[in-house]
Structure formats: structure tokens, C-alpha cells
């Protein structure tokens, strides 16, 4: 089997007045956390240096602002599409969780010379790159900051200085490098060791590795058998399954079989159903594949870190049938099968099958051929996957066949969900295939992250 194969004026005035009152009351509380002040005003006290900081997926911008010692404030704006926060742990101050478009004035007080770590405290975001450092030094002019009351924009976004010609050139260079070669291929189908009684045995080793997500970008990943995603497992209904997990990492772990019916003792949720598998130890999971499934096996130990960092893989029991409705439409057989694991966090970050564009894998079909795609989301947020052509038909959700298949041009896959989709090639060309949260796929320097392509040939 080959892998090539989602008012009123009066009321408004009241809301603003009420919000101002709440801010004023909150400002009187001695909570130890920073308090809000009107957008763009920094601090009411003179001599405060205000630094504009923006939060997005997954970056703090600027990452290393420089500022002179003294009274400092950060004007923090969430310019991304999901919730973010900003914390400076050594100073004991942080913003609340900021919704997209929200901002907050963070008063740091008087800060002495030194480097101050910054990070987003939303689970998995720091590991995805949302870290930075406020560099406080004697003589720093703070090109990233402005004095209180400056004319800097309040949106926290640094305007691009590129010309349109430069932007076009960078976009072209990235596009022409696709598909870029990188070390490591994830999700390789794993052949079992068949024991005397017919049991199918799989040996899985969890270990920390260096993984090349995109050309030249190596990250510290957690991997099963040295690959991200881990080895893809296929068994049949009725098979006896034995999976031996060996932990070679520097912390404990376990394996949970998501979407697969197993005995409670094999559910892989320490400390409830088993002890944690400590470094250097092994644990054996045994069960019978009782029913068809489109599942995942992944860590359930500090899952917000271990899963996005790479401890995830596909697990299939049986084959997904083609519905009669689709056969009547000419989808009589599947020519290509593709497993596409989505991620957005951890050290791996925005990726398809452990790789980010331009290192993602392209897929090829001929006109009239049918491709079965299984989307599995192991990230921290939902992703609307969009293939420019052809239109897909959803035939199963979470491994359960649909009585009535439904068309899907853009298919929303929530964390943990699995969708099985049929695509029939109709028109020749190179068709973009990407997450339709646009800042997961394309920016001023070109495409990145959750992007690949379907090549349809005659």
C-alpha cells in the first residue's frame, strides 16, 4: 500500500462605560499581576518605555526587543487566530488569555539590566516557538520600543518593508523548492512479527530524536521508532495484537489507543489503568481487534507536550468499504490510499505528516482515479482541510461509515477526529492542498506549514 496515496449606540456606550469601570476597579486591587490601561497609552507615569509586542501562531514579535533599564511596559496584541498570552515568569507578571484581536498593557514596573524570558502559557504554544527574551541593558536604545505616548501604532503589527517585487521573489523561491528533501520519513507502514499462535506483535520504541521538519530546521522531537508520525499499524478484525512499548526517553510515557476498542487495563492512561512506563522500562499491551476502526495510538502522559512533539501514529483495523452510493457515482475502487496526520503545536508545529512546506509530500493521480484520504488531527486546534480539486466525499467519521456520504470542499477536522474522504481526479494540473486557516499556510514570504499539492495527470 502506498502513501502516495473548517446595536445600537446606547448599548455600545453602556458597554464601554461598564468596561472602563471594571478596569478602574481592577486597577485598585493589589493582585501581583499587571493591570490594564487604555490601549496605546502605556502607563500614566512619565518616563515609561513602552514596547509593542504581537502574539501569533506561533511567534512573539519582536522575539528579542532591546530596552534600557527603568520603568517598562509592554503593549501586547494578539494578532493571531487563536488564544494567546504573554508571561514573564521571573518578574511575576503576565497578561490574561487574549482572544484574537485583543490587547493588553502589561506594566513591568522598574526593571534592572538583564535578560528576561518571555513565553506564551497556552498549552503547547511555548514549545511551538512562542518564546522570546526582553533584553534590558545599559545604553539600549530599544529600536523595538517607544516612549510612553509615542505615535507607534496600537495594533502591535510591524509593517513589512519589502517591496512587492521582493515579496514575489521570495514566494517564487519557496514554491520552486517544493518538494524539498529532508531527513526522515514518518508514518511508514510497519509489518508485524507473527507469533506461533498468530498474534501480531509490534515493537515500538519511544525516544528523543532530532527531526528535520523543513529544510535545515531540526527540532527536538519525541518519536516512535525514530519517525514522526510513528509507524502506521494495520491489522484485521479478529487479530490478536501485542504491542511492546520500550521507553528510551528521559521521562515517563505510555500509549493510548484512541478510537480503538480495548480492555480497560490496556487503555494506556497512567496512573489509572497502568503505571507510567518509566525511562528504561517496557510495557506490553495485548488485546483482540474486535471491530473495524480508524484509530490513533499516542501518548497519554503529559499529552499536551508529548503528542505534539511527535508521539502519535495511525492504527487501522480492517478496510473502509466504499458505500454503494459512491459506487453508483463511479467510485468503484480505490487506486491510492493516503494517511494525513495534522499537527500545529509542540516542536513539530504546523505540519502534515511531520513535515512543513516545502518539505511536505506531493501526491499524484491520473484522471479518473480515486484516492482515499484519512485525515487524523493530533494538534491542539481544528483544521479546515481544503483540496482545490477535486471535491471530496466524506464516507466515514471516526472510523464509522456514513449511511449517506456528504460532499466536502473544506473539511473541518477537530483535535482527535478522523475523517475518511474519497477524491476522484477530474482535471489535469497541480492543485494546492492546505489548511484553510490562512496563517497556517501562507505569508509574505510564501507558503509554509500545512501545505502540499495534488498532481493530476492525464
Rg of the Cα trace of the chain?
A: 25
Q: What's the pTM?
A: 0.72
Output the 3-class SS for the chain. Answer: CCCCCCCCHHHHHHHHHHHHHHHHHHHCCCCCCCCCCCCCCCCCCCCCEEEEEEEECCEEECCCCEECCEEEEEEEEECCCCCECCEEHHHCEECCCECCCCEEEEEEEEECCEEEEEECCCCCCCCCCCEEEEEECCCCCCCCEEECCCCCCCCCCCCCCCCHHHHHHHHHHHHHCCCCCCCCCCCCECCCEECCCCCEEEEEEEEEEEEEEECCEEEEEEEECCECCCCEEEECCCCEEEEEEEECCCCCECCEEECCCCCHHHCCCCCCCCCCECCCCEEEEEEECCCCEEEEEECCCCHHHHCCCCCEEEEEECCCCCCHHHHHCCCCCCCEEEEEEEEEECCCEEEECCECECCCCCEEEECCCEEEEEEEECCCCCEEEEECCCCEEEEEECCEEEEEEEEECEEEECCCCEEEEEEECCCCEEEEEEECCHHHCEECCEECECEEEEEEEC
Cell (9 digits) for 346: 509542540
Whole-number pLDDT of residue 7 = 36
CB 442 within 8 A of CB 433: no
Whole-number pLDDT of residue 389 = 85
Whole-number pLDDT of residue 19 = 40
Whole-number pLDDT of residue 129 = 79
Report the chain (458 residues): mean pLDDT per 10 consecutive residues.
Answer: 41 38 36 36 63 92 93 94 90 91 93 93 79 82 39 34 85 95 97 97 98 94 98 98 98 98 97 97 98 98 94 97 95 97 92 96 97 96 94 96 95 97 97 94 90 97
Q: How far apart are CA 128 and CA 146, in angstroms?
A: 28
Q: How far apart are CA 444 and CA 446, in angstroms?
A: 6
Whole-number pLDDT of residue 139 = 56
Q: How far apart are CA 53 and CA 34, in angstroms?
A: 15
Whole-number pLDDT of residue 100 = 80
Whole-number pLDDT of residue 346 = 87
Question: Dmax over Cα atoms in the chain, in whole Å?
Answer: 81
Whole-number pLDDT of residue 36 = 34
CB 334 within 8 A of CB 373: no
Whole-number pLDDT of residue 434 = 97
CATH class of 39-147: mainly beta
What are φ and ψ of residue 133, in 5° steps?
Answer: -150, 125
Boundaries of CATH 2.60.40.420 in the chain? 39-147, 193-457
Question: Does the domain formed by 193-457 have CATH 3.40.50.720?
Answer: no
Cell (9 digits) for 389: 480539486
Amino acid at each position: 500500500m502506498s502513501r502516495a496515496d473548517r446595536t445600537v449606540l446606547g448599548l455600545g456606550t453602556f458597554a464601554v462605560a461598564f468596561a472602563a469601570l471594571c478596569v478602574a476597579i481592577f486597577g485598585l486591587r493589589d493582585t501581583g499581576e499587571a493591570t490594564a490601561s487604555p490601549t496605546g497609552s502605556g502607563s500614566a507615569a512619565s518616563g515609561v518605555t513602552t514596547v509593542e509586542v504581537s502574539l501569533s501562531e506561533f511567534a512573539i514579535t519582536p522575539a528579542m526587543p532591546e530596552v534600557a533599564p527603568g520603568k517598562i511596559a509592554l503593549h501586547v496584541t494578539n494578532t493571531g487566530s487563536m488564544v494567546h498570552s504573554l508571561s514573564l515568569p521571573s518578574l511575576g507578571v503576565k497578561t490574561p488569555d487574549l482572544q484574537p484581536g485583543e490587547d493588553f498593557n502589561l506594566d513591568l514596573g522598574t526593571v534592572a539590566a538583564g535578560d528576561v524570558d518571555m513565553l506564551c502559557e497556552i498549552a503547547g504554544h511555548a514549545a511551538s516557538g512562542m518564546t522570546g527574551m526582553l533584553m534590558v541593558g545599559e545604553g539600549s536604545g530599544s529600536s523595538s520600543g517607544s516612549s510612553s505616548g509615542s505615535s507607534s501604532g496600537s495594533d502591535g503589527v510591524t509593517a513589512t518593508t519589502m517591496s512587492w517585487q521582493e515579496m514575489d521573489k521570495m514566494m517564487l523561491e519557496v514554491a520552486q523548492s517544493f518538494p524539498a528533501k529532508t531527513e526522515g520519513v514518518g508514518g511508514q507502514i510497519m509489518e508485524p512479527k507473527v507469533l506461533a499462535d498468530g498474534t501480531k506483535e509490534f515493537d515500538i520504541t519511544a525516544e528523543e530524536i532530532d527531526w528535520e521538519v523543513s529544510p535545515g530546521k531540526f527540532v527536538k522531537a519525541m518519536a516512535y521508532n525514530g519517525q514522526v508520525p510513528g509507524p502506521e499499524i494495520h491489522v484485521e478484525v479478529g487479530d490478536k495484537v501485542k504491542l511492546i512499548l520500550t521507553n528510551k526517553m528521559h521521562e515517563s510515557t505510555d500509549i493510548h489507543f484512541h478510537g480503538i476498542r480495548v480492555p480497560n487495563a490496556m487503555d494506556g492512561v497512567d496512573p489509572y489503568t497502568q503505571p507510567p512506563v518509566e525511562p528504561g522500562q517496557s510495557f506490553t499491551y495485548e488485546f483482540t481487534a474486535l471491530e473495524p476502526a480508524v484509530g490513533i495510538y499516542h501518548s497519554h502522559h503529559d499529552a499536551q507536550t508529548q503528542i505534539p512533539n511527535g508521539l502519535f501514529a495511525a492504527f487501522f483495523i480492517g478496510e473502509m468499504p466504499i458505500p454503494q452510493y459512491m459506487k453508483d457515482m463511479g467510485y468503484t475502487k480505490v487506486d491510492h490510499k493516503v494517511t494525513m496526520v495534522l499537527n500545529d503545536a509542540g516542536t513539530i508545529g504546523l505540519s502534515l505528516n511531520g513535515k512543513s512546506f516545502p518539505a511536505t509530500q506531493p501526491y499524484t493521480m491520473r484522471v479518473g482515479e480515486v484516492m482515499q484520504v484519512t485525515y487524523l488531527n493530533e494538534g491542539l486546534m481544528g483544521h479546515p482541510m481544503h483540496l482545490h480539486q477535486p471535491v471530496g466525499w466524506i464516507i466515514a467519521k471516526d472510523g464509522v461509515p456514513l449511511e449517506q456520504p456528504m460532499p466536502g470542499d473544506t473539511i473541518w477536522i477537530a483535535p482527535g477526529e478522523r475523517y475518511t474522504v474519497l477524491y476522484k481526479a477530474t482535471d489535469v494540473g497541480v492543485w494546492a492542498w492546505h489548511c484553510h486557516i490562512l496563517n497556517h499556510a501562507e505569508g509574505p514570504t510564501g507558503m509554509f506549514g500545512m501545505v502540499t499539492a495534488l498532481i493530476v495527470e492525464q
